[in-house]
């Protein structure tokens, strides 16, 4: 019972366990998941569908599902062996099916999906894929799911499995062999490189080897002891290909090698799919080449995730490195052509992403100087405040309580103190619903503020400091779905707007900080993109201000400061797709008043409204949004469950993306000129550029002039002409105390 399809089918789909629909109808995949599966089932060949588990476990936690899968294992095997014909391929959907069919209960579906596992239950074996229900919950990539199933369908139709690529490699062992190898390849048109390192940190961790290839299927590995002899290799005319080249060139440049990023397979992968988390080399190689898992080679030497690659024996490391390098060559050939065939992606890749690699190498390398005195002062001050607030909460509770624990605080507020709110959450919004003058609420809010400030922005920052007194973050070009940069280790894009905390970031002696930021960049983009006459008029006039105009539109000409605040919030809320309820919450007013504000805004700016509406239709119409910088937003699986979220993403995508690219391009353009003025970019925050500038009036003036002018010019050069872009400069010695100077 519980199966459907043809018993002589060449392809078998194995799901997890029946849901209510399936129990009722005695057939698998009849509900929402069934719809997803139906969209990818082959329509030219028969198929058979069953489940790994036939019972209906009450709780679907992994341990119980594993147990159930083990129980049902022999039943499933019996079912599959008794099909009329042996299938060519079996698709395992979700962890339990994969566990049961492979017998390996340690596997994880997100890591194994799309790979071919041998099995005598079918001719070619098992292909694990994500379960459709996981896709419906917004996990994983629908595009990958479709590709995985397509591969399985092709095998069922009689095509051959992909053959995992194999490469030969050599490791020159004498200096003369190294020199001969360099001489042979340094002026070839294209070299593909990949390094292995003793850690992720280019300031402290060793460079262990460099793999280079120039033609399919053969790699040269230059080992550690010859790194210093590789200078001529990087002085030839070859163009260099890397996977996340910004990482590699930072290590190589440290060693005095003139490495550069001409091509980058990670960025190609990001061009082809903007969703994060899909672009690491192993993953791309597996998807495009059918490359098998080769991490197993080095795993025995890496007991912990953090163990350094220095613990791997040299011969094993070189063996591993040659696969990385060879695979990079393989995926480059495929993806470079795919990008070339799409003019917008080609534009994005060549004009934005590759130049941005070089920019960000420098920003990361420069780092941001931290004042350790100020760090210490904040540490002491916040520690004291944390203790004070914590002891207040202890006293209120009457026992020792951890204010950092949401569970304990929830118990305190809703059980011990009997406060009545909405649900049992203790987050900021929920606390707003509780009596604001209650000492527990006051203390908890204060505690949260200072605890966050200290743990993340003081002690957390201190852990990231290097010998040079600076933090050196990593900026990710592939970290967002919109094209904004992401930043980590530490994240310098979310430092609190609190003078004491921002003052931890300073200019070195003899320099000052200048921050130039675009004024209302996203709203200006919305005006320019939509061509809304009223918005454009405001931004093109000298005396008008959007916030003032909207305040007048919403509340009449005699608005007060509170009403102006609301107007401002509506302006920024609109571009994020905020709704009446959420605005009403913020201002403690009725939903109908929230709705009135939104309606008035859209009435004042009808074309902006229309533009947003058109964007919102993209997910339903299965359209891809494209910006003039070539960024794309693709909508994978659209369901009634995620439609609203996707519409909000769509509505927000164009102006967020373009505003960010204007800043990025301005930074790319000014950086070489800044270098000549002994000026360094030390941070980028979506619509602003922070620099350290020699403290003399002439340079300061030149830098401000250059950056402001460039931020104004970039949109014009990219065809955004309906609205001017205005940038403001602030300066000072500490980031928290910058002052606007005429």
Partner DNA sequence: TGGTTTAGCCC
Partner DNA sequence: GTACGGGCTAAACCAT
Closest Cα partner for 539 from 470, 638, 629, 608?
608
Among 42, 57, 469, 489, binds DNA (CB under 7 A): 489
Residue 498 in the binding site for DNA (CB under 7 A)? yes
Report phi then psi at 413, rounded to 5: -70, -50
Sign of CA dihedral 528, 531, 533, 534: negative
User: CB of residue 458 vs DNA: minimum separation in angstroms?
Assistant: 10
Stretch that binds DNA, among 37-45, 124-132, 506-514, 581-589 (CB under 7 A): 581-589
Among all chains, which residue has been given the structure tokens 């089918």?
9
In this structure, which long-range contacts are made by residues 531-540, counting pairs with CB atoms below 8 Å and at least 24 apart in sequence?
531/607, 531/611, 531/722, 532/605, 532/606, 532/607, 532/608, 532/611, 533/607, 534/604, 534/605, 534/606, 535/605, 535/607, 535/608, 535/723, 536/722, 536/723, 539/723, 539/724, 540/723, 540/724
Write the burial class of residue 224 (CB in 10 Å: 0-12 exposed, 13-18 middle, 19+ buried): middle
Residue 736 in the binding site for DNA (CB under 7 A)? no
Residue 166 in the binding site for DNA (CB under 7 A)? no
Among all chains, which residue has been given the structure tokens 């052509």?
337
Report phi then psi at 541, rounded to 5: -95, 155
Tokens at residue 137, please? Answer: 């919950």
| 430 vs 737, beta carbon nearer DNA | 430
Stretch that binds DNA, among 264-272, 288-296, 301-309, 611-619 (CB under 7 A): 301-309
Among 490, 619, 654, 736, binds DNA (CB under 7 A): 490
| 227 vs 440, beta carbon nearer DNA | 440
User: CB of residue 80 vs DNA: minimum separation in angstroms?
Assistant: 27
Cβ neighbour number for residue 295 with a 10 Å cutoff: 12
Residue 488 in the binding site for DNA (CB under 7 A)? yes
Residue 448 in the binding site for DNA (CB under 7 A)? yes
CA separation for the pair 251, 207 (Å, rounded): 7
Stretch that binds DNA, among 120-128, 572-580, 602-610, 707-715 (CB under 7 A): 572-580
Among all chains, which residue has been given the structure tokens 């401000």?
704
Among 153, 426, 530, 627, binds DNA (CB under 7 A): 426
Closest Cα partner for 653 from 637, 669, 632, 636?
632
Helix boundaries (H) for 17-91 = 20-25, 32-38, 62-81
Among 77, 379, 579, 593, binds DNA (CB under 7 A): 579
Residue 496 in the binding site for DNA (CB under 7 A)? yes
| 582 vs 702, beta carbon nearer DNA | 582
User: CB of residue 307 vs DNA: minimum separation in angstroms?
Assistant: 9
Give Cα separations from 679 to 507, 692, 704 (angstroms): 11, 6, 11
User: CB of residue 290 vs DNA: minimum separation in angstroms?
Assistant: 24
| 259 vs 575, beta carbon nearer DNA | 575
Tokens at residue 425, please? Answer: 């959450």
Among 143, 203, 433, 449, binds DNA (CB under 7 A): 449
| 410 vs 733, beta carbon nearer DNA | 410
| 358 vs 585, beta carbon nearer DNA | 585
Strands (E) located in 285-358: none
Q: 47: which strand partners?
A: 11
Report phi then psi at 169, rounded to 5: -150, 160
User: CB of residue 127 vs DNA: minimum separation in angstroms?
Assistant: 22
| 53 vs 453, beta carbon nearer DNA | 453
Among 57, 199, 236, 460, binds DNA (CB under 7 A): 460
User: CB of residue 494 vs DNA: minimum separation in angstroms?
Assistant: 3
Strands (E) located in 311-362: none
Is the separation of the CB atoms in 512 and 692 below 8 Å? yes
Is the separation of the CB atoms in 219 and 166 below 8 Å? no
| 181 vs 492, beta carbon nearer DNA | 492
Instruction: Give me the 55-94 binding string for DNA, x by CB under 7 A, dash otherwise.
Output: -------xx-------------------------------
Is the separation of the CB atoms in 615 and 654 below 8 Å? yes
Report phi then psi at 259, rounded to 5: -80, 145
Residue 728 in the binding site for DNA (CB under 7 A)? no
Residue 304 in the binding site for DNA (CB under 7 A)? yes
Among 581, 592, 641, 717, binds DNA (CB under 7 A): 581
Among all chains, which residue has been given the structure tokens 């024996």?
313
Count helices and strands in the chain by DSSP H and E runs: 29, 22
Residue 484 in the binding site for DNA (CB under 7 A)? yes
Instruction: Give me the 681-710 binding string for DNA, x by CB under 7 A, dash otherwise.
Output: ----xxxx----------------------
| 42 vs 57, beta carbon nearer DNA | 57
The β-bridge relationship of strands 474-476 and 486-488 is antiparallel
CA separation for the pair 184, 578 (Å, rounded): 60
User: CB of residue 425 vs DNA: minimum separation in angstroms?
Assistant: 4
| 338 vs 493, beta carbon nearer DNA | 493
Site for DNA in 364-423 (CB under 7 A): 402, 404-408, 410
Site for DNA in 209-268 (CB under 7 A): none
User: CB of residue 389 vs DNA: minimum separation in angstroms?
Assistant: 12
User: CB of residue 395 vs DNA: minimum separation in angstroms?
Assistant: 18
Among 337, 427, 590, 622, binds DNA (CB under 7 A): 427
Report phi then psi at 688, rounded to 5: -145, 155
Residue 305 in the binding site for DNA (CB under 7 A)? yes
Cβ neighbour number for residue 642 with a 10 Å cutoff: 18
Among 197, 656, 679, 710, binds DNA (CB under 7 A): 656
Residue 172 in the binding site for DNA (CB under 7 A)? no
Among 73, 350, 366, 493, binds DNA (CB under 7 A): 493
Residue 425 in the binding site for DNA (CB under 7 A)? yes
Residues that bind DNA (CB under 7 A): 62-63, 276, 304-306, 402, 404-408, 410, 425-428, 430-431, 445, 448-449, 451-453, 455-456, 459-460, 463, 476, 479-482, 484, 486-491, 493-498, 573, 576-579, 581-582, 586, 644-645, 648-649, 652, 656, 685-688
């Amino acid at each position: 019972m519980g199966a459907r399809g043809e018993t002589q089918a060449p392809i078998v789909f194995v799901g997890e366990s029946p849901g209510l629909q399936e129990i009722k109808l005695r057939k698998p995949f009849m509900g929402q998941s069934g719809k997803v599966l139906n969209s990818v089932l082959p329509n030219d060949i028969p198929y058979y569908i069953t489940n790994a588990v036939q019972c209906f476990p009450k709780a679907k936690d992994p341990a119980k599902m594993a147990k159930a899968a083990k129980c049902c294992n022999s039943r499933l095997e019996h079912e599959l062996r008794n099909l009329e014909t042996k299938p060519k391929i079996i698709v395992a959907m979700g962890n339990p099916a994969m566990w049961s069919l492979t017998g390996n209960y340690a596997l994880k579906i997100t890591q194994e999906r799309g790979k071919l596992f041998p099995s005598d239950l079918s001719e070619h074996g098992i292909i694990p894929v994500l379960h459709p229900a996981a896709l419906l919950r917004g996990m994983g990539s629908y595009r990958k799911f479709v590709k995985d199933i397509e591969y399985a369908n092709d095998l069922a139709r009689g095509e051959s499995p992909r053959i995992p690529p194999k490469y030969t490699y050599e490791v020159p062992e004498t200096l003369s062999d190294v020199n001969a190898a360099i001489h042979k390849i340094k002026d070839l048109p294209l070299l593909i490189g990949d390094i292995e390192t003793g850690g992720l940190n280019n300031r402290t961790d060793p460079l262990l080897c460099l793999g280079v290839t120039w033609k399919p299927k053969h790699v040269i590995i230059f080992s550690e002891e010859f790194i210093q002899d590789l200078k001529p290799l990087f002085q030839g005319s070859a163009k260099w290909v890397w996977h996340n080249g910004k990482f590699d060139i930072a290590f190589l440049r440290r060693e005095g090698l003139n490495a550069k990023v001409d091509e980058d397979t990670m960025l190609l992968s990001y061009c082809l799919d903007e969703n994060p988390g899909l672009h690491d080399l192993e993953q791309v190689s597996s998807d495009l080449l059918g490359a098998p898992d080769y991490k197993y080679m080095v795993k025995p030497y890496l007991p912990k995730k953090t163990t350094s690659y220095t613990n791997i024996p040299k011969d094993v490391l070189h063996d591993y490195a040659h696969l990385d390098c060879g695979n990079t060559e393989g995926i480059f050939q495929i993806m470079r052509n795919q990008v070339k065939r799409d003019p917008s992606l080609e534009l994005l890749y060549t004009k934005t992403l590759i130049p941005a690699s070089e920019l960000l190498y420098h920003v990361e390398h420069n780092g941001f100087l931290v004042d350790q005195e100020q760090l210490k002062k904040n540490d002491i001050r916040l520690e004291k405040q944390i203790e004070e607030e914590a002891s207040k909460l202890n006293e209120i509770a009457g026992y020792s309580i951890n204010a950092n624990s949401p569970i304990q605080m929830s118990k305190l507020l809703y059980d011990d103190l009997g406060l009545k709110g909405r649900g049992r959450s203790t987050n900021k919004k929920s606390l707003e619903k509780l009596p604001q003058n209650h000492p527990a609420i006051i203390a908890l809010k204060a505690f949260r503020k200072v605890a966050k400030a200290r743990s993340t922005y003081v002690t957390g920052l201190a852990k990231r400091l290097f010998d040079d007194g600076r933090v050196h973050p990593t900026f990710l070009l592939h970290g967002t779905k919109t094209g904004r940069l992401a930043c980590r280790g530490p994240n310098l894009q979310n430092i609190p707007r609190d003078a004491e905390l921002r003052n931890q970031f300073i200019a070195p002696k003899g320099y000052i900080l200048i921050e130039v930021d675009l004024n209302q960049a996203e709203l200006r983009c919305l005006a320019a993109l939509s061509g809304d006459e009223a918005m454009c008029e405001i931004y093109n006039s000298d005396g008008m201000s959007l916030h003032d105009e909207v305040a007048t539109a919403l509340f009449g000409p005699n608005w007060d400061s509170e009403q102006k605040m609301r107007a401002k919030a509506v302006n920024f809320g609109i571009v994020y797709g905020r709704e009446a309820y959420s605005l009403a919450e913020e201002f403690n007013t009725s939903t109908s008043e929230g709705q009135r504000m939104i309606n008035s805004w859209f009435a004042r700016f009808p074309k902006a409204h229309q533009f947003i509406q058109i964007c919102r239709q993209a997910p339903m119409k299965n359209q891809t949004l494209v910006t003039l910088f070539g960024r794309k937003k693709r909508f994978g699986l659209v369901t009634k469950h995620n439609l609203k979220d996707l519409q909000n993403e769509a509505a927000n995508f164009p102006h967020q993306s373009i505003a960010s690219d204007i800043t990025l391009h301005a930074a790319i353009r000014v950086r070489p000129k800044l270098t000549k003025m002994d000026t360094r970019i030390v941070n980028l925050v979506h619509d602003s550029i922070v620099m350290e500038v020699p403290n003399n009036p002439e340079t300061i003036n030149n830098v401000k002039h250059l950056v402001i002018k460039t931020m104004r010019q970039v949109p014009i050069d990219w065809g955004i002409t309906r609205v001017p872009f205005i940038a403001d400069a602030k300066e000072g010695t500490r980031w928290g105390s910058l002052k606007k100077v005429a």
